[in-house]
Amino acid sequence: MNKHDQEYIKHKNKSMVLDVIRNRRPISRADIAKITGMSPTSVSRIVADLCQAGIVKETEQFSSGVGRKATLLDIDASSVLTVGIELDKTEIKIGVVDFDGRIAAEHTVSGANHDKAPQAVADTIAAKLLELVRDNGINRDKIIGVGIGIPGIIDVDSGTVVFSSQLGWKNVAFLKLVEERVGIPTTIDNDLNVKALGESIYGHVNESRKTVLIGIGSGVGSTLVIDGEIYRGETNIAGEIGHFNFDPNGMLCECGKRGCLQTYIAEYALIQEANNFKKVSRLSEIFHEWRAGEPWAISIIDRACTYIAVTVSNVVCMYNPDTIVLSGNFIEQHPHILEAVRAKLDDFIWEPFRGTFKLVLSKFAGKSVMIGAASLALNLRLDYELQTS
Residues that bind a second copy (CB under 8 A): 1, 5-6, 9-10, 12-13, 16, 19-20, 23-24, 33, 35-40, 42, 153, 162-163, 209-210, 222, 226, 231-241, 243-248, 255-257, 260, 306-307, 310, 313-315, 317-322, 347-348, 350-353, 356-357
Q: Which is nearer to a second copy, 244 or 290 (CB)?
A: 244
Instruction: Please check whether residue 152 is in contact with residue 90, taking contact to mean a CB–CB distance below 8 angstroms.
Output: no
Nearest distance, CB of residue 319 and a second copy, angstroms: 6
Interatomic CA distance for residues 201 and 185, integer angstroms: 21
Q: What angle do CA 169, 272, 154 make, to 5 degrees?
A: 25
262-266: Cβ within 8 A, 24+ apart: 262/219, 262/220, 264/303, 264/304, 264/307, 265/216, 265/220, 265/304, 265/307, 265/308, 265/311, 265/330, 266/216, 266/217, 266/218, 266/219, 266/220, 266/242
Of 64, 61, 55, 57, the closest CA to residue 82 belongs to 55
Q: Which is nearer to a second copy, 19 or 135 (CB)?
A: 19
Q: Which is nearer to a second copy, 109 or 153 (CB)?
A: 153
Nearest distance, CB of residue 149 and a second copy, angstroms: 18
Q: Which is nearer to a second copy, 280 or 382 (CB)?
A: 382
Nearest distance, CB of residue 48 and a second copy, angstroms: 14
Nearest distance, CB of residue 8 and a second copy, angstroms: 10
Nearest distance, CB of residue 301 and a second copy, angstroms: 15
Helix (H, G, I), strand (E, B) or coil at 21: helix
Interatomic CA distance for residues 337 and 209, integer angstroms: 26
Could you tell me the strand order of the sheet in which 71-75 lies? 27-28, 71-75, 56-62
Nearest distance, CB of residue 170 and a second copy, angstroms: 12
Interatomic CA distance for residues 277 and 108, integer angstroms: 36
Q: Which is nearer to a second copy, 8 or 62 (CB)?
A: 8
77-104 burial code (b ≥16 CB/10 A, e <16)? eebbbbbbbbbbeeebbbbbbbbebeee
Nearest distance, CB of residue 248 and a second copy, angstroms: 6
DSSP 86-150: EE-SSEEEEEEEETTS-EEEEEEEES--TT--HHHHHHHHHHHHHHHHHHTT--GGGEEEEEEEE
Nearest distance, CB of residue 146 and a second copy, angstroms: 26
Q: Which is nearer to a second copy, 104 or 340 (CB)?
A: 340
Q: Which is nearer to a second copy, 198 or 239 (CB)?
A: 239
Nearest distance, CB of residue 163 and a second copy, angstroms: 7
Q: Which is nearer to a second copy, 147 or 239 (CB)?
A: 239
DSSP classification of residue 79: G
Q: Which is nearer to a second copy, 140 or 258 (CB)?
A: 258
